[in-house]
């Protein structure tokens, strides 16, 4: 496919001063993306610190119903995003980000006004637009020599922002005595202004330059025919990765949506700062490790190593869980270490794995297509597990439930990633005419 000269390549002499310095541009874009996605969590996660214990629906805990409703909306968004995000023109991203956030915030107002259990539909509506935000934001970052750095900063917002959003929600409850129903809308109000400013600033960044395209391939909207060709080539190697990512998504969603219950069970009921404290530490660790992949210039080598990074994260989660049950570490150290390992397994797919995959095989498409395939099935798995958990009668503690999740995902995920390494070794030797050890 020929490389167009515009608008994907912008001459340096037409850029303003902060665009001319690669370092300043990386910091600028990273911070904008980080703030946008962190603020998005302010519209998505604060409700999870509410207990809603006075309400049930069809014999199911109302909080679980809310989680299922939001995840269903998020899942539908991901399936729709497979075609929508992959085919979107770049100049329309900023407007869609603001529209998605506006719809999500309005749904939280309706959640407060409409009485339960009818307001459950509002959480479904809340999840629908928010599922699009990642693809819209990452579209600004992908296809650059520094994508790993910016992507790692963006991905670290998953961890930091989840804790921040919950801490804000808990703070509104403890200090301002805002009821569970109004707290999500009030929390969203805190994040509106920084989000709008950051979207405006990110919309001003230049597209990838000639050097970026030479190193990573050009990233273009994909037609239906191009998506079919991509799947025909890569479907067999994507299957184990999508299954693994679905498993990691399930564990990650449970660790976020029911963190309040786990911390309450382990003695942190009245500690509003615990979420932000733990997640900030995890963010720094994960950011440093994933951003270091920027130093690996060879795309195929970085792509292969990303598999082993995932496996290392799974090993850390399982080892921490074992040590906790042997009473060698306390609950705080267990959750800090295990969750760090979980995110080292989950986040590479959002900022590193697929970026280097497209660069390795010189695909002139975009990450949105393949990322949203993985996300869609990931959230489908989350919904399935939530329904199974509520409809099969068995007794468990949250500690035992999370122990099972960490062990099961660790063993299964490791086997699937090893399978993926082998499949890509064979595929690379065929497509790139080069034998690999």
pLDDT at position 7: 43
Residues 108 and 101: their CA atoms lie apart, in Å, by 11
pLDDT at position 186: 97
Q: Is 57 helix (H, G, I), strand (E, B) or coil?
A: strand
Decide if domain 20-431 falls under CATH 3.40.50.10490: no
Burial tier of 400 (Cβ tally within 10 Å: 0-12, 13-18, 19+): exposed
Q: Global pTM? A: 0.84
Residues 34 and 154: their CA atoms lie apart, in Å, by 5
Pinpoint the alpha helices (H) of 131-209: 133-141, 147-176, 183-202
CB 385 within 8 A of CB 148: no
pLDDT at position 204: 93
CB 134 within 8 A of CB 13: no
Tokens found for residue 96: 């869609």
Spatial CB neighbours of 126, under 8 Å, sequence gap ≥ 6 = 43, 44, 70, 73, 104, 107, 108, 111
pLDDT at position 395: 62
Residues 418 and 410: their CA atoms lie apart, in Å, by 12
pLDDT at position 280: 81
Give the pLDDT confidence of 121-162 residue by residue, as tens digits: 999 999 999 999 999 999 999 999 999 999 999 988 887 888
Residues 192 and 201: their CA atoms lie apart, in Å, by 15
pLDDT at position 271: 66
Tokens found for residue 357: 């995959």
Burial tier of 80 (Cβ tally within 10 Å: 0-12, 13-18, 19+): middle
Which residue has tokens 């911390």?
A: 263
Give the pLDDT confidence of 237-274 residue by residue, as tens digits: 999 999 999 999 888 888 876 777 777 777 776 666 77
CB 74 within 8 A of CB 131: yes
Spans of all domains in the chain? 20-431
B/e letters for 366-390, b = 16+ CB within 10 Å, e = fewer, are bbbbbbbbbbbbbbbbbbebbeeee
Q: Is 1 helix (H, G, I), strand (E, B) or coil?
A: coil
Q: Residue 221: in which H helix or E strand, if any?
A: none
pLDDT at position 269: 66
Residues 431 and 429: their CA atoms lie apart, in Å, by 6
Residues 117 and 391: their CA atoms lie apart, in Å, by 19
pLDDT at position 73: 96
Q: What is the DSSP letter of 15?
A: S
Please list the rounded mean pLDDT of every run of 10 residues in the chain (437 residues).
40 58 92 96 93 80 90 94 94 97 98 95 97 96 93 87 89 93 97 97 92 90 92 94 92 78 73 73 88 92 96 97 94 90 92 92 90 91 78 70 92 97 93 59
Pairing state between β 60-61 and 56-57:
antiparallel
CB 407 within 8 A of CB 279: no
pLDDT at position 365: 86
Which residue has tokens 């267990």?
A: 334
Give the pLDDT confidence of 368-408 residue by residue, as tens digits: 999 999 999 988 888 887 777 666 655 667 888 889 999 99
Nearest to 289 by CA among 309, 311, 261, 265: 309
pLDDT at position 388: 74
């Amino acid at each position: 496919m020929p490389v167009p000269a515009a608008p994907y390549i912008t001459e340096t002499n037409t850029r303003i001063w902060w665009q001319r310095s690669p370092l300043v541009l990386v910091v600028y874009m990273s911070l904008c993306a980080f703030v946008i996605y962190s603020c998005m969590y302010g519209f998505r996660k604060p409700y999870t610190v509410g207990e809603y214990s006075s309400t049930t629906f069809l014999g199911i805990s109302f909080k679980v119903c809310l989680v299922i409703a939001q995840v269903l909306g998020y899942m539908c968004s991901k399936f729709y995003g497979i075609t929508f995000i992959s085919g979107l023109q770049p100049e329309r991203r900023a407007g869609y980000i603001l529209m998605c956030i506006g719809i999500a915030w309005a749904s939280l107002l309706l959640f407060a006004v409409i009485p339960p259990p009818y307001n459950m539909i509002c959480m479904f509506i809340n999840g629908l637009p928010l599922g699009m935000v990642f693809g819209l934001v990452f579209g600004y970052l992908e296809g650059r020599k520094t994508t790993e750095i910016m992507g790692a900063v963006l991905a670290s917002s998953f961890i930091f922002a989840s804790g921040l959003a919950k801490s804000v929600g808990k703070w509104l409850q403890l200090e301002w005595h805002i009821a569970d129903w109004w707290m999500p809308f009030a929390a969203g109000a805190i994040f509106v202004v920084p989000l709008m400013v950051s979207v405006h600033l990110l919309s001003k960044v230049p597209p990838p330059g000639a050097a970026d395209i030479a190193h990573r391939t050009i990233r273009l909207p994909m037609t239906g025919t191009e998506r079919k060709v991509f799947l025909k080539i890569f479907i067999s190697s994507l299957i184990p990765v999508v299954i693994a990512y679905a498993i990691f998504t399930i564990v990650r969603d449970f660790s976020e949506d029911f963190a309040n219950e786990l911390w309450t069970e382990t003695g942190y009921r009245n500690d509003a700062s615990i979420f932000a404290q733990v997640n900030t530490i995890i963010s720094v660790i994960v950011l440093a490790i994933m951003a270091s992949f920027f130093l690996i210039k060879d795309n195929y080598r970085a792509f292969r190593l990303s598999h082993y990074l995932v496996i290392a994260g799974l090993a850390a989660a399982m080892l921490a869980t074992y040590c906790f049950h042997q009473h060698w570490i306390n609950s705080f150290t267990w959750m800090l270490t295990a969750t760090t390992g979980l995110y080292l397994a989950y986040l590479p797919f959002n900022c590193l794995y697929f970026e280097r995959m497209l660069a390795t095989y010189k695909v002139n498409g975009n990450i949105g297509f393949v990322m949203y395939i993985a996300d869609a099935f990931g959230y489908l798995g989350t919904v399935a597990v939530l329904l199974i958990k509520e409809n099969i009668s068995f007794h468990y503690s949250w500690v035992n439930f999370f122990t099972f999740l960490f062990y099961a995902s660790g063993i299964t995920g490791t086997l699937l990633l090893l399978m993926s390494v082998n499949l890509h070794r064979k595929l690379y030797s065929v497509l790139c005419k080069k034998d690999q050890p």
